[in-house]
Amino acid sequence: AQKITQTQPGMFVQEKEAVTLDCTYDTSDPSYGLFWYKQPSSGEMIFLIYQGSYDQQNATEGRYSLNFQKARKSANLVISASQLGDSAMYFCAMREGGYGQNFVFGPGTRLSVLP
């Protein structure tokens, strides 16, 4: 069964510093996708970044990068140069296989950026 673990219920980071949000996953399927989403206090959901299991390079999207360590089954989100607007809940998710598969979400990490 798929499983996503986010061990940090809450994190604090100083503005302009980098922060890493941890995510580990469990799957026996060699083909899977990993996703990160952001949910600010206003409630909307924002898709941040995607990493495929066969991708050779770590995914990056602006200030977001995914530190993908396949052997360790970890997919940590790195946010560089934190901004106050980065304060939010962050969810890691996985989808096994290709089409037709379920998404499984982690419990989330609440990030607070301090001025």
Partner 1 sequence: DSGVTQTPKHLITATGQRVTLRCSPRSGDLSVYWYQQSLDQGLQFLIQYYNGEERAKGNILERFSAQQFPDLHSELNLSSLELGDSALYFCASSVGGGNGDTQYFGPGTRLTVL
Q: Which residues bind to partner 1, rule: CB under 8 A?
A: 33, 35, 43-47, 50, 52, 91, 93, 95, 98-105, 107-108
What is the smallest separation between the CB atom of 61 and partner 1, expressed in angstroms?
9
Which residues on neighbouring strands pair with residue 90, listed in sequence order?
A: 38, 109
Cα of 100 vs its chain's centroid, Å: 22
What is the smallest separation between the CB atom of 110 and partner 1, expressed in angstroms?
13
What is the smallest separation between the CB atom of 65 and partner 1, expressed in angstroms?
16
Count of H helices and E strands in the chain? 0, 12
